[in-house]
Chain A
């Protein structure tokens, strides 16, 4: 399976290329690669938690994640209170705040996904700069650390599940 850490390393290398006159191609590939580093990190940890250690099953399940569903799931965890389809989660959980680290991972994922979309497809309007590309790569790097710190966050497994299933499984009553 692809190594998220290796992808992050490539993103950092690309963002550092041509320091005085960075090329758009390098900056765009840096941003896109940083997104995919976080994308694969979240998928690999999620399948490990959800379907166990058997590699063949993990590889199959990994392909069931979609960019859109993952972004949608992250949208539920970007504040301290979890609102699923605008409804508070069950009574017993309402008082448990989302950790700052998990919020930051959720925000970083959506930010990087949007930036990756612009880096890969929007060739006309947005120009990436060293500052913007480095910011995004470092945000991805921080997301790696935050994701590990958030291991103790009780909301983390629910985020993993919703990234796979999407929000259609949520019942609001």
Chain B
């Protein structure tokens, strides 16, 4: 049977492949949302939620790239008709209010 080419099926395959990545941080969850990118092309916006590092610092790209490459590999191999856009977040950053630099207003 041909492997499924939906985003959901592709992400299931990604999830199964994550166990083979020995140097990457642990993936807590894969989230996705379908939409259009800024050029109007079909896109899958994927958020990779990572367990926080013990030192509280962001993970370097060198440790995230294997996850990024795995997602691209699965999407390309399965000819998923949506381009993956991959965003990495820490568990501690999900759902946390971020300072929005709100202006106080400019009235005199």
Q: Does A134 contact B (CB under 8 A)?
A: yes
Q: Which residues of A contact B101 (CB under 8 A)?
A: 23-25
Q: Does A129 contact B (CB under 8 A)?
A: yes
B99–A138 CB distance below 8 A: no
Q: Per-residue CB proximity of B54-65 to A under 8 Å, as 1/0?
A: 000011110011
Q: Does A114 contact B (CB under 8 A)?
A: yes
B38–A131 CB distance below 8 A: no
B88–A131 CB distance below 8 A: yes
Interface secondary structure of B, over-half rule? mixed
Report the minimum CB–CB distance from B78 to chain A (whole Å): 12
A113–B38 CB distance below 8 A: yes
Q: Does B90 contact A (CB under 8 A)?
A: yes
Chain B, range 27-49, C-beta contacts under 8 Å to A: 37-39, 41, 43
B98–A129 CB distance below 8 A: yes
A131–B50 CB distance below 8 A: yes
A132-B99 contact, Cβ under 8 Å, with A71-B39, A138-B60, A142-B61: no
Partner pick for A135 among B38, B39, B58, CB 8 A cutoff: B58
> Interface residue tally of chain A, by bracket?
20 to 34
Q: Which residues of B contact A127 (CB under 8 A)?
A: 98
> Interface residue tally of chain B, by bracket?
20 to 34
Q: Which residues of A contact B64 (CB under 8 A)?
A: 135
Chain A, range 128-142, C-beta contacts under 8 Å to B: 128-132, 134-135, 138-139, 141-142
Interface secondary structure of A, over-half rule? helix
Q: Which residues of A contact B85 (CB under 8 A)?
A: 110-111, 114
Q: Which residues of B contact A113 (CB under 8 A)?
A: 38
Q: Could you write out 22 A-B pairs with CB less than 8 Å apart? A: A23-B99, A24-B98, A71-B39, A78-B72, A78-B76, A110-B85, A114-B37, A114-B38, A114-B43, A114-B85, A117-B37, A117-B38, A128-B98, A129-B98, A131-B50, A131-B58, A131-B93, A134-B60, A135-B58, A135-B61, A135-B87, A138-B61
**Sample of 19 more A-B contacts, CB < 8 Å, known A78-B76, A134-B61:** A23-B101, A24-B98, A24-B99, A79-B76, A110-B85, A111-B85, A113-B38, A114-B37, A114-B38, A128-B98, A129-B89, A129-B98, A130-B93, A131-B59, A132-B89, A134-B58, A135-B58, A135-B61, A141-B61
B interface with A by C-beta (< 8 Å)? 37-39, 41, 43, 50, 58-61, 64-65, 72, 76, 83, 85-90, 93, 98-101
